Amino acid sequence: MDALTILKLLVGIPFIFFLPGLSWSYLLFKRREVPVLERVAVAVGLSLVLVPLAMFWLAWLLHVKVTLLNVVLLTLVISAIPPAVIRLRSTRRFQEAVAAIKARLPQRRDKVAPRA
C-alpha cells in the first residue's frame, strides 16, 4: 500500500464510521449522561446505520449514484444536522416559540376521568 491509500483509510474510516454517529449521539443524549466508551459504541452503531441507510434511500428514491463525492457530501450533511439543531435549541427565540406552543396546548390532566 502506498502512503496515499493509507492516508485515505486513516481519514475515511473515522469520517464515515464515527463522525455522523458521534454528532447524533450528542443530540440524542446529554453530554454527561453517557460515559465516553458507551458514546463511542453508540457513535459507531449510529454511523453504521445512518450513512448506508441514507445513501440507499437517496439512490433508490432520487436515483443518485453512489460515488465518493456523494458519500462525503451525505456524511457531511448527516453530521451537520445535530449541531444545527443543538444550536437552534439554545436560542431564546426558539425557546419562546416552544413556550408559546405549549401555552396553546390543552392542559394535561393527571387523573383519568371515569367512563360513563
Tell me, yes or no, if the pTM score tops 0.85. no
pLDDT digits (tens, 9 = 90+) for 90-99: 899 888 988 8
pLDDT tens column, 38-85: 999 999 999 999 999 999 999 999 999 999 899 999 999 999 999 999
In the chain, where does DSSP find H-type helix?
Answer: 3-17, 19-28, 36-61, 68-89, 92-104
Q: Tell me if 29 is assigned to some domain.
A: yes
Q: Is residue 86 part of a domain?
A: yes
- 114 found inside a domain: no
CA distance 105 to 103: 6
Residue 113 is assigned to a structural domain of this protein = no
Whether 95 is in a domain gets the answer: yes
19 has a pLDDT exceeding 80: yes
Q: How many domains does the chain have?
A: 1
Closest residue by Cα to residue 64 from 76, 72, 53, 56: 56
Domain that residue 18 falls in: 3-104
Question: Looking at residue 112, what is its pLDDT?
Answer: 62
